[in-house]
Each structure stands twice: as C-alpha cells, then as structure tokens.
Chain A
C-alpha cells in the first residue's frame, strides 16, 4: 500500500502545478454563492427565469446567443418555463424565413425550434453599431473567460470613475475587473432597471447574479444531469473498487508477498 500513496501524491502534485499557473495574475473577483457549484450543484430555477428576463430586456439588444433555441427554455435542467410559456416567448420574436414559393423572404412569429433571434445580421453590422467593438456571442461566454462566472458577475458591477491620470477615449469606459481596465460596453445595469415578475427586488447585484446564472446554464445546459450522473458514477466506482480490493487481497493471499 505504501507505493500506492506515492502514486497518489505524485498525481496530486502534477495536477496542483498547472492549476496554480493560471491563478498567478488573478484579480480578486466579487464572491457570491452559486447554487450550481459543488457535487450536487443545481441551478436556481427562479434565478434562471429572472436571468433570462435580464438577458432579453438588456443584453440581447447587442449580444447574440446563437447556439440556443427557444425550445431550450422549456427543457429539463434549464429555466423550465412551461411549453406554453416558451411558445409565447418564441412567438414574441419576428423570425426571418424563406424563400417561399414565390422566391421571397418573409417574416413570421418564432417557433420553439428557432434559434434565438440575433440582434444584428452579421458581425460587421454589430461592429458598425457599437463603435467598432463586436459584442461577443453569449452562448459560451462564461466558459470563454478565465474567471468564469465570478468574472462576469464582477464585471457587471465593476464600473467606476477612472483613477486620476487615466484618460479614456470616447465610447470607452473604466471597469476595474476588465483585462486592461478599458471596456467598450457602458454600464448597463442600474437598480430597478427591470421589473421582476416574482417580486424580487432588482438591485444591480441581484440582476448580475441572475443573468450570470442564466449565462452559466446557456454555456452548460447539461450541467445538472452531469452532476447527477457524476455522483452515481463515482459512488459506483468506489463500491466496485472496494470489492475488487478485497478480491485482490484474497487472491494474493495464496502467495506470500505483500501487495
């Protein structure tokens, strides 16, 4: 067994090193307790629904979410709107379709199978409307940023006046969590900006948390089933390992050597 501990310690050592690499120049992000972290982590359904509201009413005027469909909103492990609600949400968007039998493009109300409608026709149009900066697609944004949810959560609340000596160009804003502190998105959230249907007070902090939770789900729609399956797999493997350990002891006991 002694060698076995040696294997384990080396494994840990090797993995600790790369983990620390990325944290070398880390800024302290704002902390909040995320319900989806941990062994049994699940999304807060209310936060997802409120987060979707913040996304549609605020973010979606510039940021696309091209990998999501309206049907996802009603799927298990997500915001879990009812099918009727999701249908109504989809129908509230105008979707360009076609060509029809006459060869013409036309618009129609959205369906569950449609992807989220994009705010701009293409990247160039998005850049032209935003002073040359492209508002990134939000489908996997949380996974595409080193700090993940903590980073997005902090960034949304990180706007402040620039320190003395830093001058900002037109259309550039100061954010203490942004890489290089300069960001082309202005402060979007203010207290009471959206009116939550469930009566939750829409403080900047609350909206940041809700929309970040929504973005986490958007990036990892199967997170809940992943956690559930993971727990089962690890329990199964552990029991099997224990059984195999005792059979191994039994088999090797025929020979006078310690395993």
Chain B
C-alpha cells in the first residue's frame, strides 16, 4: 500500500510525523483504495457515522438542561421544549435521530446480508458490527426511558422484568437493576448514566470496525477479491467522499422532513403523559425499530424461552459467517439465495408489523410462523444452500465483469445491470 512511501512535505510535518504518525494515518485514509463499483447501499457506513456524531452532539446539549430525577425529568423535557433556546430543535433532532440511526443501520446490515460482506476475511468487522447494534438497542431503550412519560416507565418495567425469567436469581437481578422494588428514581438515574456512556463505547467500537475494514478493504457488489490498488479501485478521496456526501445530503433531507414537519410521528402519544405507576397504558409498545424482536419475544408462550428466543435472534447473526456455507459472497451470483434473502426481508417486516399489534388471534399465529421462519433461514436454509445451490459464474475482476467467452451470457448481463 502506498502509505508506506508517504513522507510529509514540510519540515515540521516530517518532525511531527516521525514522533506521531498522524499524517501517515490521514494519508492512509484519503488514499485508501476502494472498489470503484460500490453502489449507494455502501454509503450508509458514512451516514451512520454522521448519525452517531449527531446523537452525541445533540445529546451533550440536552444533558446540560435535562434533570435525571423522577419528579423533574418530565418537567425538564418540557422546559427544553419551551424555554431553552432552540431546545425544541435539539430535542427533535435527537429523538428523530434515533429512528434515523436505526433506519440506516438496518439498511447497512441488510446490505451486508445481500452481498455477503460478513464472510471471510471480514468476520471480525461483522461481529463488531453486531456488538455495536446491540449497544445501539440498549442506548435507544434507555434513552426512551429518560423523558419519564408513560411509555418510558412501562417500557422500562416490561423490559427489565424480562430478566426475572432467569431461574433462581432472576428476581434478585431485577431488583438490582431497578435499585429498588419497582422502576423508580434509582432506575432513572442509572439509565441516564448508561445512556451517556454507551455512545462513547459505540464510538470506540466504530474505530475498531473501520480499522478491521481497512485490513482486507471493502467488499463490493460483485463480491470478488480485488487487487489494491489497481484498475478496480479508486482512492477514497475524492471519489468516495463526494459520493458518500451526496448520499448523506439526501438522507439529511428525509431527516429534516421528520424533524421539522412530523417530529412526533415516530413516537408514541402516551409518552407525553407523565409516568404514573398506578395507570397502565392500554398497549405497551416499544419503538418501531425494536418491534421485530418484541414480536419474537411474545410469540413464545413461555417467558424464559421467549427471552432466549429474542436474544438468540440477535446472537445468531454473530454466527452467520459460519452458518452461511457458500463460498460465493454476492447474492448477484446466487440465484436461490437471492430469493431467500427477500423472503427474509419480508419476514422481518412482518415481524415488525405484528410486534405492534396485540399478541392474540391471527397476529399471534403470524408472529409464530414468522419467528419460526426467521430461525429456519439462518439455521437450516443457509447451511444447506451453500452445498446445494448452483451459483452463476463469477467474473475475475470488476473492470472485466465477464472474461471473454463466459458460457453464461445471461449472468453477465445480470451482473452488469446490477452494477449500474
């Protein structure tokens, strides 16, 4: 790679770089050879970084005005909305930013699933990603508790109560989590502390995620290994920077629309009612991005097994690089996997839908079938598919999608159209 030859031009730069090679790092980042056929699904990494920074910056300002006390939290949020200069703007960016963050992370994850980005040699990037995703869910959940509305309180009660399913020590763990015998002020203060801490853990993991990415380099829509740098790559700057920037701006327009015109549509109306331990809301629903897992939890009649199923649904993803036995990365060359992929997407959307519905009758039945299929996809279909599937011939490089005389012209056309 070219950064080994890098020497700063100025004398001071050289002096500094010999002691701390920051300029070498910057040079590595700008020159970083990136496959030139990356499509817009690849822009969500940059978008996610933007989301994280936005959440941290707006969160810092909110924390200056928010009061983490059961008697004052709700009031302090209204104070931010009314009397803090542009407090409404900062809070709405933060609240909708969480939804935007998850929207982007789901696209990022499903891009990985489609193009097989989790496969060797990128397993560590993938696993770090799953840990980031888990931390995101924890941070989002605890953040939703902080305004101390009805959904905050009862959501916290339902989710923390899940731990009581653990045999023998469950009840003790719940009391320990609550810092008392119900969700109350001690719960709120610790959730606030952890909500403040987690984004910085995520930030650290993002650095590792990118570091691990820069070892093998990006996967690409064709899913083949490429020589770096070569005709198949472009330097990160300016090519990828400008493309990521363009996609980010499009994303920001959608983001701005939510913030300025429908800031409360993704939240629940009940969260504008102050928490009341004596009144249970008619339907306790988590935020939209947690609904598929909520559906899995409720589809199992036994509490403990439900929790196990829900957690397995996430942890199973960490085992994905080994469950998927196919040598071919990109779904472009896997006609059968491609169909199962879209069925999985539909399955997760269905889970999200029934997760918002009451767990009874037809909804419960659908949730059970969809849950069963979710596990079937990862535990049965993927391992078998790797052996049974007849894959299409893969090209040898990006610039020459099909090396002269490939027997399968249809596949060639397919690849070509997909790269556009």
Query: Which of A234, A248, A255, A259 meets B260, CB within 8 Å?
Result: A234
Say whether B257 contacts A144, CB under 8 Å: no
Tell me, yes or no, whether A247 is within 8 Å of chain B by CB: yes
Tell me, yes or no, whether A106 is within 8 Å of chain B by CB: no
Tell me, yes or no, whether B50 is within 8 Å of chain A by CB: no
Say whether B239 contacts A7, CB under 8 Å: no
A residues near B246, Cβ cutoff 8 Å: 241, 244-245, 248
| Nearest A-chain residue to B150, judged by Cβ | A144
CB distance from B294 to the nearest CB of A (A): 12
A129-164 interface with B by 8 A CB criterion: 136, 139-140, 143-146, 148
B150-190 interface with A by 8 A CB criterion: none
| Nearest B-chain residue to A223, judged by Cβ | B88
A residues near B250, Cβ cutoff 8 Å: 241
A residues near B272, Cβ cutoff 8 Å: 140, 143-144, 219
CB distance from A257 to the nearest CB of B (A): 5
Say whether A237 contacts B357, CB under 8 Å: no
B residues near A188, Cβ cutoff 8 Å: none
Say whether A11 contacts B254, CB under 8 Å: yes
Tell me, yes or no, whether B78 is within 8 Å of chain A by CB: yes
Q: Mark A40-83, 1 if CB is under 8 A from B, else 0.
A: 00000000000000000000000000010000100000000000
Tell me, yes or no, whether A14 is within 8 Å of chain B by CB: yes
CB distance from A179 to the nearest CB of B (A): 8
CA distance A240 to B253 in the complex (A): 11
Say whether B352 contacts A146, CB under 8 Å: no
Say whether B239 contacts A3, CB under 8 Å: no
Query: Which of B103, B234, B420 meets A2, CB within 8 Å?
Result: B420
Total number of residue pairs linking A and B with CB closer than 8 Å: 116
Tell me, yes or no, whether B40 is within 8 Å of chain A by CB: yes
Tell me, yes or no, whether B238 is within 8 Å of chain A by CB: yes
A181-231 interface with B by 8 A CB criterion: 219-222, 226-227, 229-231
Say whether A67 contacts B234, CB under 8 Å: no
Tell me, yes or no, whether B377 is within 8 Å of chain A by CB: no
Say whether A18 contacts B82, CB under 8 Å: no
CA distance A245 to B420 in the complex (A): 16
Say whether B234 contacts A255, CB under 8 Å: yes
Tell me, yes or no, whether A238 is within 8 Å of chain B by CB: yes
Q: Helix, strand, loop or mixed for chain A's interface? A: helix
B residues near A11, Cβ cutoff 8 Å: 103, 107, 254
| Contacts known (A10-B107, A222-B88, A257-B36); A17 close to B353, Cβ less than 8 A | yes
Query: Which of A1, A17, A148, A219 meets B349, CB within 8 Å?
Result: A17
Say whether A230 contacts B269, CB under 8 Å: no
CA distance A255 to B356 in the complex (A): 48
A14-39 interface with B by 8 A CB criterion: 14-15, 17-19, 21, 24, 39
- How many B residues touch A, CB cutoff 8 Å? 52
Query: Which of B259, B273, B420 meets A230, CB within 8 Å?
Result: B259
B residues near A229, Cβ cutoff 8 Å: 89, 260
CA distance A96 to B271 in the complex (A): 31
Tier of interface size on chain A: 35 or more
Query: Which of B41, B106, B253, B263 meets A234, CB within 8 Å?
Result: B253
Say whether A233 contacts B239, CB under 8 Å: no
Say whether A146 contacts B242, CB under 8 Å: no
B249-296 interface with A by 8 A CB criterion: 249-250, 252-254, 256-257, 259-261, 263-266, 269-270, 272-273, 282, 288, 291
CB distance from B44 to the nearest CB of A (A): 9
CA distance A255 to B235 in the complex (A): 11
B1-53 interface with A by 8 A CB criterion: 36-37, 39-41
Query: Which of A139, A226, A238, A248 meets B242, CB within 8 Å?
Result: A248
A residues near B78, Cβ cutoff 8 Å: 67, 139-140
Say whether A143 contacts B88, CB under 8 Å: no
CA distance A166 to B88 in the complex (A): 44
CA distance A127 to B24 in the complex (A): 70
CA distance A121 to B299 in the complex (A): 46
| Contacts known (A21-B356, A226-B260); A3 close to B269, Cβ less than 8 A | no
Tell me, yes or no, whether B243 is within 8 Å of chain A by CB: yes
CB distance from B188 to the nearest CB of A (A): 20
Tell me, yes or no, whether A252 is within 8 Å of chain B by CB: yes
B residues near A1, Cβ cutoff 8 Å: 420
Say whether B260 contacts A233, CB under 8 Å: yes
A residues near B352, Cβ cutoff 8 Å: 17-18
CA distance A90 to B360 in the complex (A): 53
Say whether A259 contacts B266, CB under 8 Å: no
Tell me, yes or no, whether B245 is within 8 Å of chain A by CB: yes
Say whether B239 contacts A251, CB under 8 Å: yes
Q: Mark A84-105, 1 if CB is under 8 A from B, else 0.
A: 0000000000000000000000
CA distance A61 to B41 in the complex (A): 57
Say whether B353 contacts A21, CB under 8 Å: yes
Say whether A238 contacts B88, CB under 8 Å: no
Say whether A3 contacts B103, CB under 8 Å: no
CB distance from B244 to the nearest CB of A (A): 10
A residues near B257, Cβ cutoff 8 Å: 230, 234
Say whether A14 contacts B238, CB under 8 Å: no
Tell me, yes or no, whether A258 is within 8 Å of chain B by CB: yes
A residues near B37, Cβ cutoff 8 Å: 257
A residues near B260, Cβ cutoff 8 Å: 226-227, 229-231, 233-234
Query: Which of B249, B265, B269 meets A144, CB within 8 Å?
Result: B269
- 13 sampled A-B residue pairs with Cβ under 8 A: A2-B417, A7-B247, A13-B349, A67-B78, A226-B89, A230-B257, A234-B256, A237-B249, A240-B249, A241-B246, A255-B239, A257-B36, A258-B419
Q: Nearest 7 CB-CB pairs, A to B?
A: A230-B260, A144-B272, A241-B249, A21-B356, A3-B39, A18-B288, A143-B272
- Since A226-B88, A251-B239, A251-B242 are in contact, a sample of 7 more A-B pairs with Cβ atoms closer than 8 Å, ordered by chain A residue number, is A6-B40, A7-B41, A17-B353, A21-B357, A67-B75, A226-B92, A241-B246
